[in-house]
């Protein structure tokens, strides 16, 4: 099963941003829209990673009495609340128009890290299956 877990990680897609907003000369509105598009792409990948983790938990339930699904869902709710508060704090700490897109930059970074964490969890759950 360890080989299957390694294969799972190798096959897991890397989070790819829609575009590089930092190398463009954009006004504040365009920059915020660019960052928002990137955040939407990364958030969608995080949602797919959540689905992979839930699918792995469901597959494990066929051979185990432990159901990790509800726990994964609950931690995702709590993580989302924390990420929202963290990014709001970071945006508030930046004065001026830059705060408008800081929320999207922050959320992209956090969503990307969460997607990797969920994929790691899914790989561990797959490794527990017989």
Residues 6+ apart with CB under 8 A from 80: none
| Class in CATH terms, 2-12+27-128 | mainly alpha
Residue 128 token pair? 């527990």
- Mean pLDDT over all residues of the chain? 83
pLDDT digits (tens, 9 = 90+) for 34-67: 888 999 999 999 999 999 999 999 999 888 888 9
| Residue 32 neighbours by CB distance under 10 Å | 21
Rounded to two decimals, what is the model's pTM? Answer: 0.80
């Amino acid at each position: 099963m360890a080989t299957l877990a390694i294969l799972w990680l190798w096959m897991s897609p890397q989070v790819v941003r829609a575009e590089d907003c930092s190398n463009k000369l954009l006004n504040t509105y365009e920059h915020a829209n660019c960052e928002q598009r990137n955040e939407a792409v990364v958030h969608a990948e995080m949602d797919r990673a959540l689905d992979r983790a839930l699918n792995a938990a469901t597959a494990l339930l066929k051979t185990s009495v432990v159901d990790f699904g509800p726990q994964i869902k609950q931690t995702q709710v709590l993580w989302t609340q924390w990420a929202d508060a963290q990014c709001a704090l970071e945006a508030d700490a930046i004065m001026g128009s830059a705060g408008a897109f800081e929320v999207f930059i922050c959320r992209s970074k956090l969503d990307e890290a969460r997607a990797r964490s969920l994929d790691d969890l899914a790989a561990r759950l797959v490794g527990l299956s017989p």
